[in-house]
Amino acid sequence: MSPLSAALFISILFLLPQLHKVCAASHAAGRTIPTLGTCNNTCGTIPVMFPFGTGFGCGHPYFARYVKCNAGTLQFSTGTGIYTVSSIDYPTSTIVVADPFMSTCSSMQNSGSFSLDRTSPFTLTGSNIFVLLGCSTTSPVFDPSEDLCDTGSGSRVCSGLYSCKGVTGIGLPQNAPTSTCCVYDSLMGIRSGYSLDLPKLQCSSYTSIYEFGDEGDPMKWKFGISLLYNDSYYTPACKDCETSGGLCGFSVLDESFSCICRDGVNTTTNCFGHGYTWSGAWEPKIQTKTSIGVFLLWWIYLLV
């Protein structure tokens, strides 16, 4: 082998691994942005999927303003307080939130108010039955001209709640007259942008029942506020990201879409090539280029 051929042989041998690196770098260049952490697909025991997220930059930016994971607890925020998310039903696009100061059959107490932002992506579902408890006889809910209380089936709901031992927590005896109770009809049909203002309504407490189960036993009623969320934000880009093993999120700079991969990298497309192996669409290209280089190296060796 001549000195020139030997030098050429050694040069190609040195360039082969560099070729692999260049190919990989060119695949990732311009579309990967390092991130300080990764998003999780659970918060405590609750599965967290798009449009929700477990931290800033996770999920959809519109929903990140309202739902956050705090120390293993998924929380829902409105202008009137922070509530615990009890469950999320993704097929029906509903979540159930619990107000820590809301009354239940087992425990009744003075409550705060509840409201939903008019521009939020959440609305009340039709399954909610809101009940005002311990209301003053001068409360506007009892104005006959307004017709704000359900006096039909609502009276049975009030009787059931006032039969609970917890009613003593709002200063009423068990089985007290239901004249201070109101199944509040004014929320039905409004769905979003409303406010349940207890001081204005002159009521001590409220509760919301979203499922009755055994209607005759209020201890078995399911208490909480059922909300419907807008699921129209799920895009093909997000679906592609999830298919690649990533979680959908957004850039903290301009709230543009980001796919958050398990290796702690955000991309603008998907996670193929991040965290495990290169995607099937890219790996053959690297293998092909490397194989061609090896063939050329062997061919030159035979010629010289």
- Domain boundaries defined on the chain: 96-115+125-224
**pLDDT value at residue 278:** 32
What is the sign, positive or negative, of the torsion defined by CA atoms of 36, 40, 45, 51? positive
Report the C-alpha gap between 170 and 273 in whole angstroms.
Answer: 59
Polymer length in residues for the chain: 304
**pLDDT value at residue 303:** 54
Q: What is the mean pLDDT of each run of 10 residues along the chain (304 residues)?
A: 49 46 38 51 94 91 93 92 95 95 93 86 91 94 88 90 95 94 70 75 94 83 94 90 90 87 80 53 39 45 52
**pLDDT value at residue 216:** 78
The DSSP result for 104-115, as a single string, is -SS-------EE
**pLDDT value at residue 271:** 86
Tokens representing residue 23 in the block = 């190919």
**pLDDT value at residue 186:** 64
Report the C-alpha gap between 281 and 273 in whole angstroms.
Answer: 10
**pLDDT value at residue 290:** 41
Tokens representing residue 291 in the block = 């194989």
**pLDDT value at residue 112:** 85
